[in-house]
Structure 1
Amino acid sequence: MDEFLKWYFSGRPVAAANLGAEGYDHTLGDFSATAFTDRARDELRWLERLSALQPTTPDDAIDRDLVLSQLRGSIALEAWPDWRRDPGGYLGTVFSALYTPLQRRLKPEGELVAAALSRLAEVPGVLAACQANLDPDLAAPLLVQRGLRQARTGRGFLTETLPAMIEDPVLRARLADAAEPAAVAFDELVAFLDDFRCGGTWRMGERLYSTLLRERELLGYGAAELHAKGRAAWDALDERMREVAPRVNGSADWRAAMESLMDDHPATLAEMRAEYEVETRRARDFVRDRDLVTFADGEECLVLPSAVYTRPVLSVAHYLAPPPLSSSRTGVFFVPYTPDDFTDEQVRQRLRTNSRAVMPSLAVHEAYPGHHWHLSYMAGHPSAVRKVFRTPYFTEGWALYVEKLLHEQGYFDTPATELAHLDCRIFRAARMVVDTALHCDDMTIEEAETFMATKASLSPGTAEGEVNRYCAWPTQAPSYLTGAIEIDRIRESYQGSLKSFHDRIAGAGGLPLGLAEAAVRPGGAGTAAG
């Protein structure tokens, strides 16, 4: 496993550095077509080599099978090469490489700036590789336009956002000077993408979609079954919400009830962030008072505005985990600020989507005992590969599972917050339906946006942003409710306390659900260290 990780990190230095691995923070890596094809060839060799291993312990078997699932998924995706289809991978790497270290500040400022200067010098080469690698027959206009919106934030990000994060004026000036050539490269990429004409599709297709569910996620079923599960979950939640809604507005129309609740929201984005911070502290106290999980030593969750470069492509709250290969246990709950060019009405709609009734569910999901608790706690697991590889079908499934857990524990203690909790869940059921239908060619983008705006309580603008994300990130959107249902199923057969179940299954990592189930069996994988 150590040898495999060394190979894996060498081809993905930004991911390695963000995970806390030492020695990878001065480069962005090789984005040439040759590098991509060489890594794909090496993956086949690793799959053959690791498949032949005979683990001697249950822990080792889970480690091996985790890596094999990741390799099988990556090899399957060679038929759907993002590096030839989507500029987002190049942009995301550049933004993450430069922003994340300065956000975390785990090293002295001088070292952080030195690493940033080295990486800035490589930005023009990475963006040039993006232009060279994009294939007009494979790239989809929707993905290119999504990348274009993000690329347009590049100059401001490099010349304003990054220098503003540096306290020392001399270092700040050095960073600002070094940013200009990279900013010019972003300007050139914007012009290129603006003129780029392509005719590919963003639809993955049922065959590859189902292959990923079975071989990477180890779910045992494909897209059609997942779609049916989403439909059934939506119907059951719809029935339950019709029972709760009259306690909110006297009517069984839960959409109208949620619409009325959305009018009670913070007045500004800054006030929204402040209220989320208060709710995050309340959720932590609640979880600790009821002794539902073991907390990692030194964990802390910051609540901050979302990064400027994410605002054009992410319309919902999200989380940055502590680097698990480091000693840090500080994560960030990013509150979904809008891009600077949004109108007052667009900002208002974003605030409505983050109403006060919804805030408790989102704080539980992103922070306690959701993503932050899970990812800060599992970072104590002794296995390096458990820290490196995780699937959203567990991590997002866990975060939605604990929303239901806290409902059972009485956290959502008003009709408004209970209905909002159910609305968050039915929203994830709608995602299961829409994502599978989009990528299996059963639904148009317009139909998907209408579905999300009418079958969940999303504003039209937020529904548009959500569907755009599903098109760009197939199989991720269904992970929330799918994983939550599977974790509930595993819990039903677990022999032990609620707290021990949580510590054991979540402390074992962010495993594909079949491996997560093996981890809680007697003699399975151990939990993280607190």
Structure 2
Amino acid sequence: MDEFLKWYFSGRPVVASYLGADGYDHTLGDFTAAAFAAREREEILWLDRLSRLETATPDDAIDRDLVLSQLRGSIALASWPDWRRDPAVYLSAIFTSMFTPFQRRLKPEPELVSAAVSRLAEVPDVLAACRTNLDADLAAPLLVQRGLGQARTGRNFLTRTIPSMVTDPELRAKLADAAEPAAAAFDAFVAFLEGFECGGTWRMGERLYSTLLRERELLGYDAAELHRKGEAAWASLDARMREVTLRLNGTEDWRAAMESLMDDHPATLADMRAEYEAETCRAREFVKERDLVTFPEGEECLVLPSAEYTRPVLAVAHYLAPPPLSSSRTGVFFVPYTPDDFTEEQVRQRLRTNSRAQMPSIAVHEAYPGHHWHLSHMASNTRTVRNVFRTPYFTEGWALYVEKLLHEQGYFDTLATELAHLDCRIFRAARIVVDTALHCEDMSIEEAETFMATKASLSPGTAQGEVSRYCAWPTQAPSYLTGAIEIDRIRESYEGSLKSFHDKIAGSGGLPLGLAEQAAHL
């Protein structure tokens, strides 16, 4: 397994560095078509080799099967090559590799700047590879436009945002100077994307979608059954929300009730961040008082504005985990700020979808005992491969599972916060319906946006951002509720305390649900 990880990291130095592995900080890696093709061939060899591997213990078998699931998924996706379809493959590597080290600050500033300067020198080559590799017959206009929105932030991000994170004036000037050629490459890349004409589709298709559910996520059903599960979950939650709304205001119209609740929101983006920070502290104290989990030593969750480069493509709160291959246990709950060019009305709509009734559910999901607790807790797992590979069907499933857990424990102590909690859940049911319909049927983008705006309490602008994300990231959106339901099912058969269940299953990693069930019962 160590040999496999060494091979895996060598071809993906940005991933290795992000996870906290030493020795990969000074390069972005090889993004040429030849390199992608070579990795695809080598994955097939590794699958064959590891499939024949005998294991000594049940935990070893889980490690092996975790890697096999990742390899099978990656090999299946070779028929849907994102590196030929989506500029985000290249842009995400650049932005992540530049921003994350300065956000985490795990090494002395001179070392961070040295690594950044080295990576900046490679940015023109990475963008040139993207220009060469993008296939006009495969790339979809929607994905190119998403990439264009990110690329337009490149110059400011590299020449101003990143240098502003450096405290030493000389090092800051050195970094700004090194950023200029990379920024010029971004300028040229923006011009390229603006003129790039393509006719590909973002629809994955049922066959590959179902293959990923079965072979990568190790679920026992296909896309059609997942779609039906989403519809059933939506109907059940709709009935519950009608009942809560009847108690809240005497009607069953929960959409109107949520619209009214969303009018009670922070006045500014800065106020939104401050209120999320207070709610995060409250959630932590509640979980601690109820003794629901074991807190890892030294964990800390910062609550900060979202990074500038993510604002054009992420309209919701999100989380940056501590690098699991390091000693850090500090994570970041990013509050969803808007791009600088948003109108006053667009900012108001973003604030409305982060209303005071919704904040408790979101803070629980992102921080305690959601993503931050889980990912800082699992970082102590000594099985390296568990900290390298994880699936959103567990990690996002866990974060939604604990929302329901805290509802059971009485955290959402008003009808308004209870309704908002259920709204967060029905939103995830709607995601299942929409994602499967978009990629496996013929639902249009416009129909999907209407569905998300009427079947969940999203503003039209947020619904638009959400659907764009689903088109770009097939199979991810259903992971939340699918995983939460599966974790609930595993809990029902667990013999032991609630706290021991949480510590054990979450500490086992972010495993595909079939493997998570095995780990819980070891």
TM-score normalised by the chain length of structure 1? 0.98
Looking at structure 1, the residues matched to 171 and 365 of structure 2 have their Cα atoms a distance apart, in angstroms, of: 38
Cα displacement string for residues 134-166 of structure 1 (whole angstroms, at most 9, x for unaligned residues): 000000000000000100000010111001100
Q: Which residue of 2 is the match for residue 528 of structure 1?
A: none
Structure 2 counterpart of 1:399, one-letter code:
A
> What secondary structure, in the 3-state scheme, does the structure 1 residue paired with 2:122 have?
helix
Looking at structure 1, the residues matched to 424 and 230 of structure 2 have their Cα atoms a distance apart, in angstroms, of: 14
Cα displacement string for residues 337-361 of structure 1 (whole angstroms, at most 9, x for unaligned residues): 0000000000000000000000000
Looking at structure 2, the residues matched to 48 and 361 of structure 1 have their Cα atoms a distance apart, in angstroms, of: 44
> What secondary structure, in the 3-state scheme, does the structure 2 residue paired with 1:287 have?
helix
Q: Do residues 133 (structure 1) and 133 (structure 2) align?
A: yes
Structure 2 counterpart of 1:224, one-letter code:
A
1:249 deviates by: 2.6
Structure 2 counterpart of 1:290, one-letter code:
R
Structure 2 counterpart of 1:38, one-letter code:
A
Q: Do residues 174 (structure 1) and 204 (structure 2) align?
A: no
1:448 deviates by: 0.2
Q: Which residue of 1 is the match for residue 201 of structure 2?
A: 201
Structure 2 counterpart of 1:122, one-letter code:
E
Q: Which residue of 1 is the match for residue 482 of structure 2?
A: 482
Cα displacement string for residues 365-417 of structure 1 (whole angstroms, at most 9, x for unaligned residues): 00000000000000000100000000000000000000000000000000000
Q: Which residue of 2 is the match for residue 256 of structure 1?
A: 256
Looking at structure 2, the residues matched to 465 and 94 of structure 1 have their Cα atoms a distance apart, in angstroms, of: 22
Cα displacement string for residues 47-86 of structure 1 (whole angstroms, at most 9, x for unaligned residues): 0000001111010000000000000000000000000000
Structural mapping, 1:125-524, within 5 Å: 125-521=125-521, 524=522
Looking at structure 2, the residues matched to 256 and 441 of structure 1 have their Cα atoms a distance apart, in angstroms, of: 30
Q: Do residues 111 (structure 1) and 81 (structure 2) align?
A: no
Looking at structure 1, the residues matched to 518 and 237 of structure 2 have their Cα atoms a distance apart, in angstroms, of: 29
Structure 1 counterpart of 2:135, one-letter code:
D
Report runs of 4+ in structure 1 exceeding 6 Å deviation.
Answer: none
> What secondary structure, in the 3-state scheme, does the structure 1 residue paired with 2:60 have?
helix
1:242 deviates by: 0.2
Looking at structure 2, the residues matched to 67 and 229 of structure 1 have their Cα atoms a distance apart, in angstroms, of: 28
Looking at structure 1, the residues matched to 130 and 223 of structure 2 have their Cα atoms a distance apart, in angstroms, of: 31
> What secondary structure, in the 3-state scheme, does the structure 2 residue paired with 1:245 have?
helix
Looking at structure 2, the residues matched to 326 and 517 of structure 1 have their Cα atoms a distance apart, in angstroms, of: 27
Identical aligned pairs, as a percentage?
82
1:441 deviates by: 2.6
Looking at structure 2, the residues matched to 53 and 260 of structure 1 have their Cα atoms a distance apart, in angstroms, of: 58
Q: Which residue of 2 is the match for residue 62 of structure 1?
A: 62
Q: Which residue of 2 is the match for residue 5 of structure 1?
A: 5
> What secondary structure, in the 3-state scheme, does the structure 2 residue paired with 1:322 have?
coil
Give the number of aligned pairs: 522
Looking at structure 1, the residues matched to 153 and 141 of structure 2 have their Cα atoms a distance apart, in angstroms, of: 19
Structural mapping, 1:13-28, within 5 Å: 13-28=13-28
> What secondary structure, in the 3-state scheme, does the structure 1 residue paired with 2:170 have?
helix
Cα displacement string for residues 160-200 of structure 1 (whole angstroms, at most 9, x for unaligned residues): 10011000000000011110000001001100000000010
Cα displacement string for residues 394-449 of structure 1 (whole angstroms, at most 9, x for unaligned residues): 00000000000000000000000000000000000000000000001331000000
1:248 deviates by: 2.6
Q: Which residue of 1 is the match for residue 88 of structure 2?
A: 88
Structure 2 counterpart of 1:233, one-letter code:
A
> What secondary structure, in the 3-state scheme, does the structure 1 residue paired with 2:301 have?
strand
What are the ranges of 5 or more consecutive residues in structure 1 without an aligned counterpart?
525-530
Structure 2 counterpart of 1:2, one-letter code:
D
Structure 2 counterpart of 1:380, one-letter code:
S
Looking at structure 2, the residues matched to 246 and 264 of structure 1 have their Cα atoms a distance apart, in angstroms, of: 20
Looking at structure 2, the residues matched to 448 and 354 of structure 1 have their Cα atoms a distance apart, in angstroms, of: 21
Looking at structure 1, the residues matched to 178 and 520 of structure 2 have their Cα atoms a distance apart, in angstroms, of: 51
Looking at structure 1, the residues matched to 285 and 132 of structure 2 have their Cα atoms a distance apart, in angstroms, of: 52
1:520 deviates by: 1.1
> What secondary structure, in the 3-state scheme, does the structure 2 residue paired with 1:14 have?
helix
Q: Which residue of 1 is the match for residue 79 of structure 2?
A: 79
> What secondary structure, in the 3-state scheme, does the structure 2 residue paired with 1:302 have?
strand
